[in-house]
């Protein structure tokens, strides 16, 4: 889709914005060349692409503050961007907005073992935090599959999870403080090295706010002592229902594994072909369970999980004897997305959360939807907390398949809500789920949420068009009045 040529007024306005930005971030910190802007045209949700008006890459909190203040004065929209690994379109650029990249904020500023925390800039990768402290026997618990690339600032923006969030919590449970710049340039700090603070939980509101409230320039995270012992357990089942029943019984018995992941036959085969993790190929579903703690505790829990698995009809069971074997068990799961990329030209990664006891029902319904839409679906998910990640396989070169894949994905998310779940567990709403928010929230609910945004960003310039399906002006929210229409992206070229 060709974009219309800008008129002279638009060209003049862009030139003035670029001039202001270059005065704040000199040298190569402002990107305007169309070929160079292409690197920022989408995030991990690659079905939609849009060149930003301009990209600015500040290196200091002061520069971020000056950029936001200048854009606020000129009434220019801002789209914050981390590593671009997000899967909901949260960092999707706008043609009339400045994309503010935080890739140069990549320093770990402080490691405080006495208070068990790390202070890092937002461009530090998730994995780098653990690498910085693991020699002293510590680690950072939330571990998204993209942890070698995704950044801690983006993790805070999306409230990222990962395989170990079942026992150790999502990002929100492991963030102690943030430094953040508001749209008018004001720099604020929420939380810190202390464990908790009185008053309103503003830190909780900011975590998962998807760039709508401010631009994060510093993060203080909790680090944990590595467990004495960790064992992996592989359990195979003759059907997905038995696997779902095993998950429910493990949690129902009071056992909280460090991690518990489940996958179906299609994913098992793709993973095993990609990397040899010892996965059996003659089962319909597979659980990877990790149990950690003191040695006597882990030994007991391993026996209990094995007993539960056998009681629901498992046909395969293996317990790791060494830490190397445990890590090998996880290699396949950690490579889920590239593995599936080998069996399909394209796929959409969905993200919804359901009550654990509805797992078997939802998987059955997804199989039915797969037949209705004529598209395959591969399932891999955080079984312990019911966070599903169905991968809808399609070929974008075949007319209509992307549209069908998107509709299939929307029906999966509606199904999650129908059984008592929610639209997202960790990927965020962004653009992908924006127009489904009404499936979960009433109009009054959405107004109340947007009042919070107005308290931080009264001008509505931060990441507009994301999360909320209907635009409310801040001044009108006070009168409970709503403007007309949605905020679609008709000008964004499709993949």
Q: Over the stretch 11-62, which tens digit does the pLDDT of each residue have?
A: 999 999 999 999 999 999 999 999 999 999 999 998 889 999 999 999 999 9
Structural domain includes residue 355? yes
**Average pLDDT of the segment spanning 101-107:** 98
Same structural domain for residues 311 and 388?
A: no
**pLDDT 10s digits, 406-418:** 999 999 999 999 9
Does the structure show a pLDDT above 90 at 198?
Answer: no
Q: Around Cβ 217, how many Cβ atoms within 10 Å? A: 24
Residue 224: which of 263, 180, 168 has the closest Cα? 168
The predicted structure's pLDDT at residue 4: 63
**Cα(1)–Cα(122) distance, rounded to whole angstroms?**
34
Structural domain includes residue 456? no
**Cα(82)–Cα(428) distance, rounded to whole angstroms?**
14
Same structural domain for residues 12 and 91?
A: yes
The predicted structure's pLDDT at residue 227: 96
Does the structure show a pLDDT above 50 at 490?
Answer: no
**pLDDT 10s digits, 298-310:** 999 999 999 999 9
Same structural domain for residues 357 and 412?
A: yes
Same structural domain for residues 398 and 373?
A: yes
CATH code, 136:
3.30.465.10
**Cα(155)–Cα(92) distance, rounded to whole angstroms?**
16
The predicted structure's pLDDT at residue 486: 37
Rounded to the nearest 10 degrees, how much is the dihedral formed by the CA atoms of 316, 321, 322, 323? 50
Q: What is the pTM of this model?
A: 0.92
Does the structure show a pLDDT above 90 at 180?
Answer: yes
Last residue of a domain, one of 319, 337, 355: 337
Last residue of a domain, one of 405, 432, 459: 432
In Å, what is the CA distance from 424 to each residue of 53, 59, 117, 157, 350? 30, 32, 28, 14, 9
Of 4 and 473, which is predicted with more confidence?
473
**Cα(20)–Cα(33) distance, rounded to whole angstroms?**
17
**Do the beta carbons of residue 216 and residue 180 sit within 8 Å?**
yes
The predicted structure's pLDDT at residue 340: 93
Last residue of a domain, one of 337, 352, 387: 337
Does the structure show a pLDDT above 70 at 2?
Answer: no
pLDDT band at 482 (very low <50, low <70, confident <90, very high): very low
Same structural domain for residues 317 and 350?
A: no
**Cα(75)–Cα(212) distance, rounded to whole angstroms?**
16
2: which DSSP letter?
P
Grouping H, G, I as helix, E, B as strand and the rest as coil, residue 297 is helix
The number of distinct structural domains making up the chain is: 4
In Å, what is the CA distance from 81 to each residue of 78, 107, 127, 189, 378? 10, 17, 19, 20, 29
pLDDT band at 359 (very low <50, low <70, confident <90, very high): confident
Structural domain includes residue 46? yes
Does the structure show a pLDDT above 70 at 466?
Answer: yes
In Å, what is the CA distance from 153 to each residue of 6, 65, 158, 418? 34, 16, 9, 32
Q: Which two tokens stand for residue 169?
A: 């919590």
Residue 204: which of 166, 169, 165, 175 has the closest Cα? 175
Range of the domain at 54: 8-101
């Amino acid at each position: 889709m060709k974009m219309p040529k800008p008129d002279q007024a638009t060209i003049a306005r862009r030139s003035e914005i670029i001039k202001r930005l270059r005065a704040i971030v000199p040298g190569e910190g402002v990107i305007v060349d169309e070929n160079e802007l292409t690197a920022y045209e989408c995030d991990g949700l690659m079905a939609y692409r849009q060149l930003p008006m301009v990209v600015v890459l500040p290196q200091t909190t002061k520069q971020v503050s000056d950029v936001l203040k200048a854009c606020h004065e000129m009434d220019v929209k801002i789209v914050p961007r981390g590593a671009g690994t997000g899967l909901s379109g949260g960092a999707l650029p706008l043609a009339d907005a400045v994309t503010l990249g935080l890739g140069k904020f990549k320093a770990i500023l402080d490691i405080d073992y006495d208070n068990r925390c790390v202070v890092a800039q937002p461009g530090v990768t998730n994995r780098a935090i653990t690498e910085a402290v693991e020699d002293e026997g510590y680690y950072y618990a939330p571990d998204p599959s993209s942890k070698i690339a995704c950044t801690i600032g983006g993790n805070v923006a999306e409230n990222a999870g990962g395989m170990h969030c079942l026992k150790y919590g999502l990002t929100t449970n492991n963030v102690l403080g943030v430094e953040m710049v508001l749209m008018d340039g004001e720099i604020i700090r929420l939380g810190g090295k202390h464990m908790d603070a009185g008053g309103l939980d503003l830190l909780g509101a900011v975590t998962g706010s998807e760039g709508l409230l401010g631009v994060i320039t510093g993060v203080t995270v909790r680090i944990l002592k590595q467990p004495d012992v960790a064992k992996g357990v592989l359990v195979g089942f003759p059907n997905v229902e038995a696997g779902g029943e095993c998950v429910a019984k493990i949690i129902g018995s009071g056992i909280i594994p460090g991690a518990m992941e489940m996958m179906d036959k299609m994913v098992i085969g793709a993973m095993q072909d990609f990397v040899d993790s010892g996965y059996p190929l003659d089962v319909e579903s597979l659980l990877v369970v990790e149990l950690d703690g003191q040695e006597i505790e882990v030994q007991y829990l391993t026996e209990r999980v094995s007993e539960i698995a056998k009681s629901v009809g498992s046909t395969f069971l293996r317990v790791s004897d060494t830490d190397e074997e445990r890590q090998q068990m996880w290699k396949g799961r950690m490579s889920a997305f590239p593995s599936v990329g080998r069996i399909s030209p394209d796929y959409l990664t969905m993200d919804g959360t359901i009550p654990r006891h509805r797992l078997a029902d939802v998987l059955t319904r997804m199989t039915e939807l797969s037949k209705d839409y004529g598209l395959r679906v591969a399932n891999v998910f955080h079984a312990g907390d019911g966070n599903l990640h169905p991968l809808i396989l399609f070929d974008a070169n075949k007319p209509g398949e992307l549209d069908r894949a998107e509709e299939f994905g929307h029906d999966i998310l509606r199904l999650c809500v129908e059984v008592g779940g929610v639209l997202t567990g960790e990927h965020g709403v962004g653009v992908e789920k924006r127009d489904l928010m009404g499936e979960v929230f009433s109009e009054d609910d959405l107004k109340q949420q947007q009042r919070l945004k107005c308290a931080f960003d009264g001008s509505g310039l931060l990441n507009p068009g994301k999360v909320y399906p209907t635009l409310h002006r801040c001044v009108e929210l006070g009168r409970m009045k709503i403007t007309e229409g949605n905020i679609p992206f008709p000008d964004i070229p499709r993949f």
